[in-house]
Structure 1
Amino acid sequence: MQHEIELSILPEHISDELYIINQGALRLKIVPSRIKSLKIRKRSIDARGKQVVFRVRVIFFIDEVPAHETRHVEYANVADAMPVLIIGAGPAGLFAALRCLEKGLRPIVVERGKDVQRRRRDLALLSKEGAVDPDSNYCFGEGGAGTYSDGKLYTRSNKRGDVQRVLQVLVAHGATEDILVDARPHIGTNKLPHIIQAIRHTILEHGGEIHFDCRVTDIIVSFGQVKGVTLAGGETVTAEHVILATGHSARDMYELFHRKRWLAEPKPFALGVRIEHPQAIIDQAQYHCAVRSEHLPPAYYSLVEQIDGRGVFSFCMCPGGIIAPCATDKGEVVVNGWSPSKRNNPYANSGTVVQVNLSDVPNSARYPFALLDFQHEVEERAYVVGGGKLVAPAQRMVDFVQRRLSADLPANSYKPGTKSAMLSEVLPPFVDHALRRALPLFGKKMKGYYTNEAILVGVESRTSSPVRITRDNNTLQHPQIKGLYPCGEGAGYAGGIVSAAIDGMNCADAINR
């Protein structure tokens, strides 16, 4: 017999299975010895009251032992099967490849960047010397943007597909089972590369292919049917089913669509800054304490305001994290954030961004890449104001709101360096205005947030793609090109690791159908 109930557990007891069994027995009015096992189905932190607790949904097995669960996924050997060409080895591309294995299709993945081991060296140069390799950086390379920028798995994409299936695949390839139960699952940048390598090995072992350093320069189409792609080295790869999963920073692919006059449209996105506080300030505010308990993780926050009908919100919050340089070309500054699995760095950072609507950008009704150009202009201004070598323009929070150049900047985690600047010289006026109005309001919602100990680092601009590549809602194919499946964040159909993975699986399913 099984009973599922919700319990409130003090942080110091959250890892004590015997304590949880005793609490369950009290609630179920049975002796503890009748509970033979338990399974935690969902776990979250509730910090709304004075006493912080974990809310835990637990299945108790009474007078029975649960059947053994296996997380192994069976994949066919597809060495001689019909090929599916996948452009990009990010979450969308890799999960599309795994789904192809399940469906008896042969995935051929071409990735412009490097494998995770070689990619790591380019990221070191990016942080230390400000040297950007356009094909190997935080956005391009094996695993995509998520590999070296945190691995947060929180999503609201349940309607798009099976979130739990994505998490189970990650567990099968080495992720901790905690991601199956935590309300805000997180893997960590230090652990993700090993998981990505394991996924690569699964694909190769079952007859799939993965090719690195292969940037696609053309998509070959004949009489409305895709026939394959041309690579930068002049080689061609043929296939009549192509999944386009290039990520949200592949501007050269958008330019290709523009030259070919293939359908695409502008898409609203969000733009702003990355804000970093000492983690202790966030812990004190969220946990109502002077010092965070050793039994609690570094605190998280989520903030949102409406300013003149425009959304301003925190995005991709990284407790115990680091601000990273995420430029994909020379002459631009782009920032993002990541955390290691233990989230044990002394700072907390979050993107804090403002809605950018089609009406904010001239020509967006006539030119599908107007918002893309707008995004790039802001990134170029950030580079100029920062002074080069990926040094980022920055300002203390209260100074920013009060339009005052910061006399100095607090210590922070952004390794290429920060330069005191007026962020109003970088941000579009409507973004600058909305942020100034919103930050003091955020401070009223969360004690200690509005402080000059916090630093604003510009710019956070790659929140999502400012372009949507058109596709049919039923077949998921581009309406002008049979066999071409725009997919994931880069095509405008996802907004994170999990939603991109789901979209990749959906495209593979569409091909199978």
Structure 2
Amino acid sequence: MQKEIEITIAPEQVGNPEAILVQLAKALNVKANTIKHHQVLKRSIDARSRRGVVYRLQVRAYINEDAPAQEKPASYPKVKDTKRVIIVGAGPAGLFAALQCIENGLKPIVVERGKDVKQRRRDLAAINKQGLVNTESNYCYGEGGAGTYSDGKLYTRSNKRGDINKVLQIFVAHGAEEDILIDARPHIGTNKLPQIITAIRETILQAGGEVLFDAKLTDLILANGRVKGIVVNRDQELLADSVILATGHSARDIYELLNHKNILIEAKPFALGVRIEHPQQIIDSAQYHCEVRSEFLPPAYYSMVEQVKARGVFSFCMCPGGIIAPCATGLDEIVVNGWSPSKRNNPFANSGTVVQVTLDDVQGYDPLRMLNFQSEIERLAFEAGGGNLVAPAQRMVDFVENRLSISLPKNSYLPGTKSVMLDNILPDFVASSLKAALPLFGKKMRGYYTNEAILVGIESRTSSPVRIPRDKENYQHPQVKGLYPCAEGAGYAGGIVSAAIDGINCANAIVNNSSS
């Protein structure tokens, strides 16, 4: 007999199977020796009670019943000589689209403008230490996409879009810890993702797929309203009847290419703001109601949202024990993001804190107007920092009270920060919305509103400022058959898991469309 039940357990016992068994038997009112096997299905932290933090476990108990046989990892067919699908971009959408193509008996050819994960490290070192941006190899461009070197958070609300568990299982099969299958907020960590991404690439190659690096899409080959292939690096043609466009939300040249070829694209709302960093101890103390976090608890996270005059202000991509990273993809721009290693053991906690930017905020009919608006703010931030990717920054209370910060707190942003008035960079409606929201966030979480926190600009790549339209049923662009706009760059996903799911869905749509 199998029964599922929720139990609570102390943090120091959450890794002890015997302690879990005792709690489980007590909750089910059975003898412990009758439970032949138990499986933790979900695990989350409950810090709501001031009496103490507990873990909540959803557990399946096998009473007088043996444990089920373990499922074997999926095996992929050989596809070297099968129908080809070109996938542009080797981020999570592109890689998972490639795996699904193989599962469907199609040969994926993945083209990536950047370098493989190992080679990217040199360019990231140059960004952090020298403020030098390689416009084709950086935190956003390269194997694994932005997620590889910017955290690896797997939390998503995309339950209705596809099989989240399938995505997580594939990560585990390629080297991720099994904890991601049960944690409420699964996380791999930037230090572990490169090896996992490399293993996924090897699976694609062993099945007969191809992965090409330093291969930048420079044109689409079209005929009679259909895609026939792509041009790489201006001189190499790759032919296929299906092209999945999974280029990510920072590949601005792709939007410009589509617009130049009169292929429909649309302006899309996004969000703009800053990355806010606190000492991790402040967040731990507030969330766990303690002076010092227990060694059995992970660094605490938070999620904030507030409406200011009907405009949303919210935290985004929160990184406990993390680092603020320079994520510019072009010259003379400042873009910041955040990431955490798997242990989340850095002394700071950071989160994007952003304000909704609507289509009404940027007047006009140009489909690139939101992108141009985004670019202009990033250029202003660069100029304010003075070059070399030094980021403009201000202490939190100083920002709200309109004071230039005399000094800035120690922080994790390696290229360096410069004290400025962020009002001179942020649009008025963004600055005023942040100033109204931050004290309200402080009322929700003790210690949040403090001058120990630093605001670092600019957090601008929250989502794509352009949408590449597609049919809801067949996933193809309405004007170009065989062209499949995919994931974040097309405006249809946000984050590693949702992008991976969208890649899988596009690969399945190719099969469905060819059989209909």
The answer to whether the aligner puts 1:94 opposite 2:80 as a matched pair is: no
State the alpha-carbon separation in 2 of the partners of residues 19 and 500 from structure 1. 38
Counterpart code for 1:39: Q
Cα distance in 2 for partners of 1:262, 1:420 equals 43
**273-282 or 29-38: which moved more?**
29-38
Segment of structure 1 superposing worse, 32-41 or 94-103: 32-41
Aligned residue number for residue 437 of structure 1: 436
Report if aligned partners of 1:313, 1:354 keep a CA contact under 8 Å in 2. yes
Give SS of 2:488's match. Answer: coil
Q: Where does residue 4 of structure 2 map in the other structure?
A: 4
C-alpha distance in structure 2 between counterparts of 1:17 and 1:467, whole Å: 49
Matches within 5 A, 1:127-138: 127-138=128-139
Instruction: For 1:245-324, list aligned pairs within 5 A.
Output: 245-324=246-325
Superposed, which structure 2 residues align to 1:59-70 within 5 Å?
A: 59-70=60-71
Q: Is the 8 A contact 1:280 1:291 kept in 2?
A: yes
Q: Which amino acid aligns with 1:377?
A: E
Q: Shift of residue 68 of structure 1?
A: 2.2
Partner of 1:47: 47
Q: Give the whole-Å Cα distance in 1 for the aligned partners of 2:476 and 2:183.
A: 35
- Equivalent in the alignment of 1:467: 466
What amino acid maps onto 2:410 in structure 1?
A
| 2:105 maps to amino acid | G
Percent identity over the alignment is: 66
Matched residue, 1:373: 372
- In the TM superposition, what are the counterparts of 1:203-214 in structure 2 within 5 Å? 203-214=204-215
- Unaligned 5+ segments in structure 2 are none
- TM-score, normalised to structure 2's length? 0.98
TM-score, normalised relative to structure 1: 0.99
SS in 2 for 1:147: helix
How far 1:233 moved relative to its partner? 4.8
Distance 2:27 2:163 in 1: 32
Alpha-carbon distance in 1 for matches of 2:44, 2:72: 23
Q: Summarize the alignment of residues 333-344 of structure 1 with structure 2, pairs less than 5 Å apart.
A: 333-344=334-345
Q: Which residue matches 1:78? A: 79
Give the partner amino acid of 1:138: Y
Shift of 1:480: 0.9
Structure 1 CA distance for aligned equivalents of residues 71 and 214 of structure 2: 36
Q: 2:200 aligns to what SS in structure 1?
A: helix
Post-superposition shift, 1:71?
5.0
Count of residues paired in the alignment: 511
**1:70-469, aligned counterparts within 5 Å?**
70=71, 72-363=73-364, 366-469=365-468
Q: Could you tell me how far apart the structure 2 residues matched to 1:38 and 1:416 are?
A: 49
Q: Which residue identity lines up with residue 25 of structure 1 in the other structure?
A: A
Write the letter of the residue equivalent to 2:506: C
Cα distance, 1:31 vs. partner? Answer: 1.2
- Residue type of the partner of 1:57? Q
Shift of 1:16: 1.0
Partner deviation per Cα, 1:221-275 (whole Å, 9 max, x = no partner): 0111111111115111111100000000000000001111111111111110000
SS of residue matched to 1:210 = strand
In the alignment, the residues of structure 2 paired with residue 268 and residue 157 of structure 1 have an alpha-carbon distance, to the nearest angstrom, of 20
Residue 306 of structure 2 contacts residue 437 of structure 2 at CA under 8 Å; is this kept in 1? yes
Q: Say if 2:219 and 2:234, in contact at 8 Å, map to a contact too.
A: no
Q: What SS does the aligned partner of 2:160 have? A: helix
1:479-507 alpha-carbon deviations (Å, 9 max, x no partner): 11110000010011101101100000000
Aligned residue for 1:29? 29
CA contact under 8 A between 1:274 and 1:351: conserved in structure 2? yes
Give the counterpart letter for 2:390 in structure 1. V
- What are the Cα deviations for residues 175-232 of structure 1, in whole angstroms up to 9, with x where unaligned? 1111110000000000000000000000000000000000010011011111111111
Say yes or no: does 1:20 pair with 2:31: no
Secondary structure of 1:158's partner? coil
What secondary structure sits across from 1:453 in the alignment?
A: coil
Moved >3 Å (runs of 4+): none
Q: What CA deviation, in whole Å up to 9, does each residue of 1:357-393 have, x standing for no partner?
A: 0000011xx1111100000000000000000010000
Alpha carbons 2:476, 2:482 under 8 Å: kept: yes
User: How far apart are the structure 2 equivalents of 1:151 and 1:208?
Assistant: 25
Q: CA deviation at 1:22?
A: 0.7
Distance 1:367 1:472 in 2: 22
2:490 is paired with a residue whose SS is coil
SS at 1:204's partner residue?
Answer: helix
CA distance in 2, matches of 1:491, 1:193: 25
Paired residues of 1:71 and 1:168 also in contact (CA < 8 A): no
Q: 2:306 and 2:485 mapped to 1: Cα distance?
A: 33
- Alignment correspondent of 1:477: 476
Distance in 2 between residues matched to 1:187 and 1:460, nearest whole Å: 23
Deviates more, 1:344-353 or 1:60-69: 60-69
Query: How far off is 1:70 after superposition?
Result: 2.3
Structure 1, unmatched stretches of 5+, are: none
Deviates further, 65-74 or 283-292: 65-74
CA shift digits 1:285-331 (9 cap, x unpaired): 00000000000000000000000000000000000000000000100
| Aligned counterparts of 2:16 and 2:434: Cα–Cα separation in 1 | 44
Superposed displacement of residue 33, structure 1: 0.9
Indicate conservation of the 8 Å contact 1:71/1:172, yes or no: no
Q: Provide Cα deviations, 1:125-153, integer angstroms capped at 9, x if missing partner.
A: 01001110111000000000000000000
Quick one: distance in 2 between partners of 1:509 and 1:29?
46
Paired with 1:71 and 1:293, the residues of 2 have a C-alpha distance of: 37
CA distance in 1, matches of 2:19, 2:229: 59
